[in-house]
């Protein structure tokens, strides 16, 4: 019983972090139609900034805010001054599908090198604002701490806020219209370039938050979020890449699959499980679990 | 107050899609641009709305050049292009589709008023407000696309083949509605059509395009009587 509860709670915690990463990837995919591999670098650099601010201000919360703001700015700058010129130069042809994605891979390398220059390649640790000791349940310590609870709450609240933004505001409507049909949006008078940059900024903020929530349970180093990028990508593809709902649901399915298989079968399944799930979904429903031909959810 | 196009040239890849085209549309008038498939009609509209790069030539709306301007800025300046076919965002509801052209407008009261006018013009849209754009029939989609443009209170309306793929009865209804709002709203309209008969019937003037060149400009009445035009584009 304790094992079952622990497994579920672990699934929720990891799923929440994957959800932030998959949301970041989906936000960029929807606005720009590319998979942004630099997301891991953007998120980890934002976390370094958050870490510095946490150390200097003494407050983890100020650090979270700084990481999100920096992440948003970095995302916006990358889109405006890096991606947009690339798209402007490549008008059509197969290279249009490949070059921007390769560019994000290059950017990932550059960002990680910059981190290496500034902070070195050593592991840093970021203290959690609340206890990371597991709660006591029936006189036994379980693998779910107050910090884990905080992760789940923060991820859930930020997802709800993002959903409200998309569904209930004018900016959200402009973002959705630009994602589904840039041309019609443009002809309707919507500044599509601006909404695209906003999509990158929101993704950057989500990545910064993911880093600040993930690193206290791990260590901070230049490649610290590469695994999260992979898991976030798997979750986004499972969810169909198009919808925020799919990104979160895909992340939760992934979190549960990993947590249950490592806890009940073998710890060694941690990494393979993500790919087993990915391949199964791609074989059965290539467009993602939450896709349907006629309608996409938001 | 008019649309003036002079020596317009637009390339489509290696093909010169619009070759030295000149014509003008006076304010409040409806001009039909007719011609066969591949005559360059759609490219012409895409050039005028900023979607397609204009290679050379002049195009002015009320004296202001529209060459080199961004599509979203031309839209905000009152030039609304209803592109051909499925010019509706399937994933958004009818209500959201209609709201797109009101998002950036300051006068929200007038946006609400314009939306109401559109619903009274196309009552079926009012019944379908919360349905997704993708669930609409072809005729309803066309009404929604035109309605969305009207919510912006446009001054120049560029309509690309509103009759495409619609049943004859629906085509009549759409053409009649276009005629109706053009007169009541004092709109200037460029109507691109393969359905030359239907388009000329409601137009004031007509421009006949063939392989990117203007082959005839005249009043719609005269074009309907012209034997050459009748033989080539009206089929009798």
Residues paired with residue B9 on neighbouring β-strands, in sequence order? B56
Chain A nearest-CA residue for B134: A294
User: CB–CB of B72/A186 below 8 Å?
Assistant: yes
Query: Which of B87, B91, B152 lies nearest to residue A180, judging by beta carbons?
Result: B91
Is the predicted pLDDT of residue A17 greater than 60, yes or no? Answer: yes
Is the predicted pLDDT of residue A137 greater than 90, yes or no? Answer: no
SS3 content of chain A, % helix, strand, coil (to 5): 75, 0, 25
pLDDT range class, residue A136, cuts 50, 70, 90: confident
Nearest CA to A180 out of A73, A30, A8 is that of A30
Length of chain A as a residue count: 298
Residues in chain B closer than 8 A to A295 (CB atoms): 90-91, 132, 134
pLDDT, residue B228, reads 83
Judge: B100–A184 Cβ closer than 8 Å, yes or no: yes
Judge: B100–A170 Cβ closer than 8 Å, yes or no: no
Is the predicted pLDDT of residue A23 greater than 90, yes or no? Answer: yes
With a threshold of 0.90, tell me whether the complex ipTM lies above it: yes
- pLDDT tens for each residue of B208-224: 999 999 999 999 999 99
Q: Which domain holds residue A102?
A: 2-295
Residues paired with residue B5 on neighbouring β-strands, in sequence order? B23, B59
Chain A nearest-CA residue for B98: A188
Q: What is the mean pLDDT of residues A104-131?
A: 93
* Domains of chain B by residue range: 1-90+152-232
Judge: A189–B75 Cβ closer than 8 Å, yes or no: yes
Q: Shortest Cα distance from A201 to chain B (angstroms)?
A: 21
Chain B nearest-CA residue for A242: B91
Judge: B152–A189 Cβ closer than 8 Å, yes or no: yes
Is the predicted pLDDT of residue A296 greater than 50, yes or no? Answer: no
Judge: A173–B99 Cβ closer than 8 Å, yes or no: yes
* Alpha carbon distance B38, A185 (integer Å): 26
* Alpha carbon distance B82, B84 (integer Å): 7
pTM value? 0.90
Q: What is the mean pLDDT of residues A86-100?
A: 80
pLDDT, residue A297, reads 41
Mutating which of B13, B66, B91, B112 best tests the A interface, going by the most A Cβ atoms within 10 A? Answer: B91
Is the predicted pLDDT of residue A87 greater than 80, yes or no? Answer: yes
Longest dimension (CA), chain A: 64
Q: Shortest Cα distance from A88 to chain B (angstroms)?
A: 13
pLDDT range class, residue A88, cuts 50, 70, 90: confident
Judge: B83–A187 Cβ closer than 8 Å, yes or no: yes
* Alpha carbon distance B92, B98 (integer Å): 10
Judge: A174–B72 Cβ closer than 8 Å, yes or no: no
Structure-block tokens of residue A259: 């947590």
Rounded to the nearest integer, the mean pLDDT of chain B is: 92
| CATH number of the domain enclosing A131 | 1.10.3470
* Alpha carbon distance B216, B207 (integer Å): 6
- pLDDT tens for each residue of B126-158: 999 999 999 999 999 999 999 999 999 999 999
- The label of the residue with tokens 């609870």 reads A149
Please give the distance of CA B154 from its chain centroid, rounded to a whole number.
11
Residues in chain A closer than 8 A to B82 (CB atoms): 187
pLDDT, residue A292, reads 58
pLDDT > 70 fraction of chain B, expressed in percent and rounded? 98
* Alpha carbon distance A207, A22 (integer Å): 9
- pLDDT tens for each residue of A186-242: 999 999 999 999 999 999 999 999 999 999 999 999 999 999 999 999 999 999 988
* Alpha carbon distance B159, B17 (integer Å): 18
pLDDT range class, residue B30, cuts 50, 70, 90: very high
Is the predicted pLDDT of residue A264 greater than 60, yes or no? Answer: yes
Longest dimension (CA), chain B: 50
* Alpha carbon distance A289, A68 (integer Å): 30
CB crowding A13-33: b at 16 or more within 10 Å, else e: bbbbbbbbbbbbbbbbbbbbb
Identify the sign of the CA torsion A112, A113, A119, A121: positive
Length of chain B as a residue count: 236
List, in order, residues 6 or more apart from A278 with CB less than 8 Å away.
Answer: A234, A237, A238
Q: Shortest Cα distance from A295 to chain B (angstroms)?
A: 6
Please return the burial class of B53, using the count of CB atoms within 10 Å of its CB with bins 0-12, 13-18 and 19+: exposed
pLDDT, residue B235, reads 66
Q: What is the mean pLDDT of residues B86-108?
A: 93
pLDDT, residue B22, reads 94
Domain tally, chain A: 1
Chain A nearest-CA residue for B149: A188
> What are the DSSP E strand ranges found in chain A?
136-137, 140-141
Domain B1-90+152-232 part of CATH 3.40.1260.10: no
Chain B interface, Cβ < 8 Å to A: 49, 51, 70-72, 75-76, 80-83, 87-92, 96, 99-101, 103-104, 132, 134-135, 148, 152
């Amino acid at each position: 019983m304790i094992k079952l509860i622990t497994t579920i709670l672990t699934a929720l915690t990891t799923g929440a972090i994957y959800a932030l990463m998959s949301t970041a990837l989906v936000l960029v995919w929807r606005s720009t139609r590319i998979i942004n591999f630099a997301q891991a670098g953007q998120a980890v650099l934002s976390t370094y900034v958050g870490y510095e601010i946490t150390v200097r201000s003494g407050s983890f919360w100020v650090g979270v805010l700084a990481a999100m703001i920096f992440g948003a700015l970095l995302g916006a700058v990358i889109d405006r001054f890096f991606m947009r010129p690339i798209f402007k130069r490549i008008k059509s042809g197969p290279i249009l599908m490949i070059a921007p994605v390769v560019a994000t891979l290059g950017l990932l390398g550059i960002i990680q090198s910059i981190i290496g220059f500034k902070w070195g390649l050593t592991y840093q640790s970021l203290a959690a604002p609340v206890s990371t000791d597991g709660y006591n349940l029936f006189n036994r310590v379980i693998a779910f701490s107050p910090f884990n609870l905080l992760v789940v709450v923060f991820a859930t609240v930020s997802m709800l806020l993002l959903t409200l933004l998309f569904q209930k505001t004018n900016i959200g409507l402009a973002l959705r219209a630009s994602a589904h049909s840039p041309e019609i949006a443009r002809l309707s008078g919507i500044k599509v370039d601006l909404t695209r940059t906003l999509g990158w900024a929101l993704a950057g903020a989500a990545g910064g938050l993911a880093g600040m929530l993930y690193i206290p349970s791990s260590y901070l180093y230049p490649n610290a979020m590469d695994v999260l990028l992979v898991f976030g990508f798997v979750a986004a593809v499972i969810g169909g890449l198009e919808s925020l709902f799919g990104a979160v649901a895909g992340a939760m399915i992934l979190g549960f699959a990993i947590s249950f298989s490592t806890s009940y079968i073998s710890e060694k399944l941690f990494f393979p499980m993500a790919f087993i799930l990915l391949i199964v979904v791609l074989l059965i429903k290539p467009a993602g679990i939450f896709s349907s031909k006629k309608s996409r959810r938001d | 107050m008019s649309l003036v196009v002079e020596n317009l040239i637009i390339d489509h890849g290696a093909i010169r899609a619009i070759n030295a085209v000149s014509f003008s549309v006076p304010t409040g008038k409806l001009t039909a641009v007719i011609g066969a498939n591949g005559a360059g009609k759609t490219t012409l509209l895409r050039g005028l709305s900023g979607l397609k790069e204009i290679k050379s030539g002049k195009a002015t709306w009320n004296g202001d050049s529209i060459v080199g301007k961004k599509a979203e800025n031309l839209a905000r300046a009152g030039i609304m292009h209803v592109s051909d076919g499925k010019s509706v965002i399937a994933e958004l509801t009818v209500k959201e589709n209609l709201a797109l052209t009101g998002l950036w407008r300051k006068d929200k009261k007038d946006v609400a008023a314009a939306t109401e006018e559109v619903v009274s013009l196309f009552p079926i849209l009012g019944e379908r407000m919360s349905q997704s754009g993708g669930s609409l029939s072809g005729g309803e989609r066309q009404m929604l696309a035109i309605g969305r443009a009207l919510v912006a209170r446009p001054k120049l309306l560029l309509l690309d083949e509103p009759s495409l793929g619609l049943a004859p009865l629906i085509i009549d209804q759409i053409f009649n509605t276009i005629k109706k709002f053009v007169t009541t709203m004092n709109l200037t309209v460029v109507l691109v059509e393969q359905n030359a008969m239907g388009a000329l019937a409601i137009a004031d003037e007509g421009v006949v395009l063939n392989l990117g060149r203007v082959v005839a400009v005249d009043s719609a009445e005269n074009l309907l009587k012209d034997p050459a035009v009748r033989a080539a584009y009206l089929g009798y």
